[in-house]
């Protein structure tokens, strides 16, 4: 079934795009939610997310999982991919990066509910996992486990 809602003409979707120089320079595109009457969950997983350690400048790696219940808009996936990619040259602690991504999406998209899990690979021998959400999920929303195991090393 096709969606009759026309998409805004200024989307990055379907156009050549370059990786934004920074998260602040990245533009997130939002389109009308095609199912405003339904309560449902959208999940994005970014298993190869990278940013930089603000102290050493070395790369940090994470598996991000973003779950949200849309309200009037949904985030367009190409713009989200470019936004997440813009962190490759961004220095930030795991907590600031994970929570900041969630807060920006909430501020701009205004979903009914959002949570983000940042499953970071070890830095200094200690894995750091960061979780943030806007509050309790709406009644009746199916919220599956994020499906990412805690870091277990090689063993």
Asked whether the beta carbons of 30 and 15 are under 8 A apart, the reply is no
Question: Which helix or strand (DSSP H or E) is residue 118 part of?
Answer: strand 113-120
Nearest to 96 by CA among 127, 125, 132: 132
Q: What angle do CA 100, 106, 110 make, to 5 degrees?
A: 170
Residue among 3, 10, 29, 53 flagged as catalytic: 53
Q: Is 10 annotated as catalytic?
A: no
Query: The tokens 């994020």 sit on which residue?
Result: 146
Q: Is 60 annotated as catalytic?
A: yes
88 vs 114: CA distance, rounded Å: 23
Cα of 9 vs its chain's centroid, Å: 23
Q: Which SS3 state, helix, strand or coil, does residue 11 take?
A: coil
Residue among 60, 71, 129, 145 flagged as catalytic: 60
- The residues that are catalytic are 53, 60
């Amino acid at each position: 079934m096709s969606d009759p809602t026309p998409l805004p003409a200024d989307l990055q979707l379907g156009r050549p795009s370059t990786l934004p120089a920074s998260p602040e320079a990245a533009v997130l595109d939002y389109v009308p939610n095609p199912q405003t009457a339904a309560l449902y969950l959208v999940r994005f997983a970014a298993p190869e997310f990278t940013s930089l350690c603000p102290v050493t400048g070395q790369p940090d790696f994470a598996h991000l999982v973003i779950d949200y219940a849309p309200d009037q808009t949904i985030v367009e996936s190409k713009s989200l991919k470019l936004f997440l990619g813009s962190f490759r040259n961004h220095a930030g602690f795991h907590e600031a990066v994970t929570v900041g991504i969630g807060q920006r999406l909430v501020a701009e998209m205004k979903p009914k509910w959002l949570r983000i899990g940042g499953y970071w690979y070890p830095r200094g021998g200690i894995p750091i996992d960061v979780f943030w959400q806007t509050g309790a999920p709406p009644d009746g929303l199916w919220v599956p486990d994020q499906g990412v195991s805690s870091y277990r090393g090689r063993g």
